[in-house]
Amino acid sequence: MKQRIQGRRATPDPAAAAAVLKRKTRQRPVLGLVLGSGFGATAQALDNVESLPYAALPGFPRPSVSGHAGKLMLGQLAETPVLVLSGRAHYYEGHTLDEVTFAMRVLAAFGVTDVLLTNAAGGVNARFRPGDFMLLRDHINFMGVNPLRGPAPPGRPRFVDLTQTYDASLSDLLRRAARAARLRLREGVYLAVSGPTYETPAEVRAFARWGADAVGMSTVPEAIVARQCGLRVAGVSCITNLAAGRSPQPLSHAEVLVIAERGAQRAVALLKNFARLYGKK
């Protein structure tokens, strides 16, 4: 069923997509994982997998970036039931934020209660190195848009408190997961830009002054919508490069993918430990 909201394009109904999903699987995980660049290999670590291309779910946009597959998977990660979004749609691809965040609404309608959002990001903090992981403590929305603009869906709050966007207990599980994997987990503030350009060095200097530690082109819209839906949220970045002007080299997507690939097994270990600890809590 399509909902028509005055002045906006007809938006697909998350409950309808969740109903399709419920018909396709008997699995009912409460933990959702969004795999961004650097975390994609986690999809291969799932047991008892059932997988659906996004195209099979009404309203799901199709991601087009290399390194982003575009399927919804259900299975167990370290024996914990999980729902995995392998690949995401980005604002810079031309999708609306309604499309970019639609999956969060579907997950909430499906019964997911907790989501871990992962991404690749550039290091703004001078101490960060490519290959580091960073737990999101907070974010700065510098995309110039907000996914909650327009009428609030029925039953959802109009004004959403973001004082504690990233859940303390899920964040603590990530710290413990990193320790168990013998990984150093940095912590900091993720600043989201719309992209698709990388930043200028002047922007990166400005972002550092604002308190940003990493910069990327995703995650924040999903975190905001997830909070509106009452989901608990955690976030982790793979620092794939030093942000513009922080190193003498120019930035390239190829470099981002190479570092992401190199960190893949550590990323899998981190997420597996997280899932294991989540299952025990």
Query: Which residues contribute to the site for ligand HPA (CB under 6 A)?
Result: 120-122, 198-199, 215-217, 240-241, 243, 251, 256
Give the distance between the most distant pair of CA atoms in the chain.
Answer: 53
**Cα R_g (the chain), whole angstroms:** 18
Chain residue at closest Cβ approach to ligand HPA = 122
Give the residue with the Cβ less far from ligand HPA, 110 or 198: 198
Least CB distance from residue 18 to ligand HPA, whole Å? 30
Question: At how many degrees (to 10) do helices 14-24 and 97-110 cross?
Answer: 50
Q: How far is CA 245 from the centre of its chain?
A: 26
Q: What is the DSSP string of 178-205?
A: HHHTT--EEEEEEEE---SSPPPHHHHH
Please, what is the minimum distance in Å from the beta carbon of residue 189 to ligand HPA?
14
Q: Minimum distance from CB of 244 to ligand HPA (Å)?
A: 6
CA distances from 141 to 55, 119, 138, 187 (A): 29, 15, 10, 17
Measured from the CB atom, is 114 or 199 closer to ligand HPA? 199
- Minimum distance of ligand HPA from residue 36's CB (angstroms): 9
Query: Which residue number, 178 or 217, has a Cβ lying nearer to ligand HPA?
Result: 217
> Minimal CA–CA distance to 41: which of 241, 263, 277?
263
Which helix H or strand E contains 222, and what residues bound it? helix 220-228
Q: Using the minimum distance from each CB to ligand HPA, give the nearer residue, 13 or 199.
A: 199
Indicate the residue among 56 and 142 with the shorter CB distance to ligand HPA. 142
- Which are the catalytic amino acids? 37, 68, 90, 92-93, 120, 217-218, 241, 253
Closest CA to 242 of 136, 132, 124: 124
CB 26 to ligand HPA: min, Å = 37
Q: Please, what is the minimum distance in Å from the beta carbon of residue 212 to ligand HPA?
A: 11
Which residues share a beta bridge with 169?
none
Q: Which is nearer to ligand HPA, 120 or 173 (CB)?
A: 120
Cα dihedral 47→237→136→224 (10° resolution): -80
Residue 198 CB-half CA count within 13 A: 22
* Per-position DSSP letters for 100-164, written without gaps between them: HHHHHHHHHHHT--EEEEEEEEEE-STT--TT-EEEEEEEEE-SS--TT-SPPPTTS-SS---TT
